[in-house]
Amino acid sequence: MIDEAFLPFEKIIERMLAFKGEIVDDQAGVRSYIYKCEIESPVEFDVIRDEHGALQIGSTPPLYYIDTSFRPAYHKLRFTAELSESVDGN
């Protein structure tokens, strides 16, 4: 099993994209939305094989924020996400 501090890789992407993409200022009458975002983050990986022999990729953003001599191995995740067009093409 993936270490409990880590999430399956697909969950990391999903959660990073789970933001409210709309910024509304009712007073000013302004409505903006995020149409593209680029995320680059150091991540830690826990790569294990499950009981069926399949490779499971667990990942997490840095867990600790204290500078220590025992340095975590930070890999780098980079991705670009763009606003999906809705079904009716808008």
Residue ranges that bind another protein, judged by CB under 8 A = 3, 5-6, 8-10, 13-14, 17, 20-22, 33-34, 37, 44-49, 52-58, 70-87
Q: Cβ of residue 14: shortest distance to another protein, in angstroms?
A: 6
CB 56 within 8 A of CB 50: yes
> Nearer to another protein by C-beta: 29 or 76?
76
Q: 87: which 2 tokens?
A: 């079904």
Provide the sign of the torsion angle of the four alpha carbons 63, 68, 73, 76, taken in this order: positive
Toward another protein, which CB reaches closer, 13 or 61?
A: 13
Q: How far is the CB of 63 from another protein (least distance, A)?
A: 9
Query: Smallest gap, in angstroms, from Cβ of residue 86 to another protein?
Result: 6
Name the DSSP letter for residue 86.
P
CA distances from 18 to 3, 22, 44 (A): 23, 12, 20
Q: How many residues does the chain have?
A: 90
Looking at the Cβ atoms of 57 and 61, the one nearer to another protein is 57
